A and B are shown apart, each in its own frame.
Chain A
Amino acid sequence: EIVMTQSPATLSVSPGERVTLSCRASQSVSSDLAWFQQKPGQAPRLLIYGASTRATGIPARFSGSGSGTEFTLTIASLQSEDFGFYYCQQCNSWPLTFGQGTKVEIK
């Protein structure tokens, strides 16, 4: 199976800062990569699919890039509601796999 590795594990950020999260695949997944946000006590929310396409209703401050094995989620200016956990998921081959997550916390 394809192993997805996210870094860093935790990111301490002040509101208004630019945030960059990384996701690496153990083998190429082309552009078959999604990003999810999860807040405590809530279900995950799809942010990005196809590595760079924002899902419906997702603010423009969220952007995704990359292909192959290296991917990035960027939050242009972190808002208070953006704190939580972020997960990447590959959908290139079975079984589908998630990264272990990055926690974005208030600095």
Chain B
Amino acid sequence: EVQLVESGGVVVQPGGSLRLSCVASGFIFDDYAMHWVRQSVGKGLEWVSLVSWDGLKRHYADSVKGRFTISRDNGKNSLYLQMNGLRPEDTALYYCARGSLATTGRIPDSWGQGTLVTVSS
């Protein structure tokens, strides 16, 4: 069974930094691209970032480019999101998701339960 468990979400002040983590199990982690997707309370889904299976290719939403960095450690079956220069509009539930092999990783096919980031003074 695929399991994705996110952690690291806390309350942080505007301008602050935070690193989210996601530990994967139940599949061969380094076969898959991985995503971060976020959702503000009561709002829709917003794609944030993707990293390729080998960590060499990274893509970002325009809203986070230059502030967030996605990375992975295949030896630890872990995905990360380093978030710098946080803004109130970054407040959201952050999901870790596995990229579907059938879509060259571009579509998330399994999701964690999310970790809540709140940016507030």
Interface residues of A (CB under 8 A from B): 1, 32, 34, 36, 38, 43-46, 49-50, 53, 55, 85, 87, 89, 91, 94-101
B contacts with A, residue count (CB < 8 A) = 23
Within 8 A of A (CB), among B52-92: 59-62
Known: A43-B95, A50-B102. A98 touches B108 (CB 8 A): no
B106's nearest neighbour on chain A, judged by CB, is: A91
Report B-chain residues with C-beta under 8 Å of the C-beta of A38: 45
Within 8 A of A (CB), among B104-118: 106-114
Report A-chain residues with C-beta under 8 Å of the C-beta of B37: 44
Q: B113 near A43 (CB under 8 angstroms)? A: yes
Interface flag for B32 (CB, 8 Å): no
Q: A98 near B45 (CB under 8 angstroms)? A: yes
Q: B61 near A95 (CB under 8 angstroms)? A: yes
B110's nearest neighbour on chain A, judged by CB, is: A46
Q: A49 near B107 (CB under 8 angstroms)? A: yes
Q: B107 near A91 (CB under 8 angstroms)? A: yes
Among B37, B61, B106, B107: residue with most chain A CB under 10 A? B107
